[in-house]
Protein backbone atom coordinates (compact mmCIF):
# COMPACT_ATOMS: atom_id res chain seq x y z
CA UNK A 1 0.00 0.00 0.00
CA UNK A 2 1.46 3.40 -0.95
CA UNK A 3 2.19 5.83 1.88
CA UNK A 4 -0.57 8.23 2.84
CA UNK A 5 1.06 11.55 1.98
CA UNK A 6 -1.45 13.55 3.98
CA UNK A 7 -0.72 11.46 7.10
CA UNK A 8 3.03 11.86 6.54
CA UNK A 9 2.61 15.63 6.16
CA UNK A 10 0.51 15.75 9.33
CA UNK A 11 3.22 13.95 11.32
CA UNK A 12 5.82 16.37 9.98
CA UNK A 13 3.71 19.40 10.91
CA UNK A 14 3.12 18.03 14.43
CA UNK A 15 6.85 17.42 14.83
CA UNK A 16 7.74 20.89 13.54
CA UNK A 17 5.19 22.61 15.78
CA UNK A 18 7.55 22.38 18.74
CA UNK A 19 10.49 24.84 18.79
CA UNK A 20 12.71 22.36 20.62
CA UNK A 21 12.25 19.76 17.89
CA UNK A 22 12.96 22.41 15.26
CA UNK A 23 16.15 23.23 17.17
CA UNK A 24 17.17 19.58 17.23
CA UNK A 25 16.60 19.31 13.47
CA UNK A 26 18.59 22.50 12.90
CA UNK A 27 21.48 21.11 14.95
CA UNK A 28 21.44 17.85 13.01
CA UNK A 29 21.31 19.80 9.74
CA UNK A 30 24.28 21.99 10.64
CA UNK A 31 26.36 19.50 12.61
CA UNK A 32 25.53 16.18 11.00
CA UNK A 33 24.58 12.97 12.78
CA UNK A 34 24.71 13.16 16.57
CA UNK A 35 23.77 11.30 19.71
CA UNK A 36 21.30 12.63 22.27
CA UNK A 37 24.31 13.40 24.48
CA UNK A 38 25.99 15.36 21.67
CA UNK A 39 22.81 17.35 21.13
CA UNK A 40 22.41 18.04 24.86
CA UNK A 41 25.88 19.59 24.86
CA UNK A 42 24.80 22.00 22.10
CA UNK A 43 21.21 22.75 23.21
CA UNK A 44 19.83 24.21 26.45
CA UNK A 45 17.83 21.09 27.41
CA UNK A 46 18.63 17.79 29.05
CA UNK A 47 19.65 14.62 27.26
CA UNK A 48 16.48 12.94 28.54
CA UNK A 49 14.30 15.67 27.04
CA UNK A 50 16.18 15.45 23.75
CA UNK A 51 15.72 11.67 23.73
CA UNK A 52 11.94 12.10 24.09
CA UNK A 53 11.86 14.60 21.24
CA UNK A 54 13.99 12.29 19.09
CA UNK A 55 11.39 9.54 19.52
CA UNK A 56 8.70 11.80 18.06
CA UNK A 57 11.01 12.98 15.28
CA UNK A 58 11.79 9.35 14.50
CA UNK A 59 8.10 8.42 14.44
CA UNK A 60 7.53 11.28 11.97
CA UNK A 61 10.34 9.85 9.84
CA UNK A 62 12.43 13.02 10.12
CA UNK A 63 15.37 11.27 11.78
CA UNK A 64 16.70 7.77 11.70
CA UNK A 65 18.59 6.02 14.49
CA UNK A 66 21.88 4.38 13.59
CA UNK A 67 23.78 2.15 15.99
CA UNK A 68 27.23 3.48 16.79
CA UNK A 69 30.19 2.41 18.85
CA UNK A 70 29.64 1.33 22.45
CA UNK A 71 25.85 1.08 22.07
CA UNK A 72 25.57 4.80 21.32
CA UNK A 73 22.81 5.68 18.90
CA UNK A 74 23.43 8.45 16.39
CA UNK A 75 20.54 10.28 14.79
CA UNK A 76 20.63 11.36 11.16
CA UNK A 77 18.20 13.59 9.27
CA UNK A 78 15.84 12.13 6.68
CA UNK A 79 14.58 14.60 4.12
CA UNK A 80 11.86 12.55 2.40
CA UNK A 81 9.05 13.29 4.91
CA UNK A 82 9.91 17.00 4.67
CA UNK A 83 9.60 16.80 0.87
CA UNK A 84 6.18 15.18 1.23
CA UNK A 85 5.08 18.02 3.55
CA UNK A 86 6.45 20.61 1.10
CA UNK A 87 4.52 18.98 -1.76
CA UNK A 88 1.37 18.98 0.38
CA UNK A 89 1.78 22.71 1.07
CA UNK A 90 2.54 23.46 -2.58
CA UNK A 91 -0.63 21.65 -3.69
CA UNK A 92 -2.63 23.50 -1.05
CA UNK A 93 -1.20 26.82 -2.21
CA UNK A 94 -2.11 26.01 -5.83
CA UNK A 95 -5.65 25.18 -4.72
CA UNK A 96 -5.87 28.57 -2.98
CA UNK A 97 -4.21 30.61 -5.73
CA UNK A 98 -6.81 29.99 -8.44
CA UNK A 99 -9.88 31.01 -6.39
CA UNK A 100 -8.03 33.99 -4.94
CA UNK A 101 -6.97 35.12 -8.41
CA UNK A 102 -10.54 34.74 -9.68
CA UNK A 103 -11.83 36.77 -6.71
CA UNK A 104 -9.23 39.47 -7.37
CA UNK A 105 -10.27 39.68 -11.03
CA UNK A 106 -13.94 39.85 -10.03
CA UNK A 107 -13.30 42.62 -7.51
CA UNK A 108 -11.16 44.57 -9.97
CA UNK A 109 -14.04 44.66 -12.51
Instruction: Evaluate if pTM is beyond 0.85.
Output: no
- Provide long-range contacts, Cβ within 8 A and 24+ apart, for 90-99: none
**Residue 20 pLDDT:** 96
Q: What is the pLDDT of residues 52-105, one digit of tens each?
A: 999 999 999 999 999 877 778 999 999 999 999 999 888 887 776 676 677 777
Q: Is the pLDDT of residue 1 over 60?
A: no
3-state SS class at 5: helix
Whether residue 81 contacts residue 61, with contact meaning beta carbons closer than 8 Å, is answered with: yes
Residues 4-25: tens digit of each pLDDT: 888 999 999 999 999 999 999 9
Determine the pLDDT at residue 92.
80
Tell me, rounded to whole angstroms, the distance of Cα 96 from its chain centroid. 24
Amino acid sequence: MPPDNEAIAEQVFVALADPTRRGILAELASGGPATATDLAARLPITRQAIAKHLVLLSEAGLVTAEPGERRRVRYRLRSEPMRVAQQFLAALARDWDSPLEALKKHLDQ
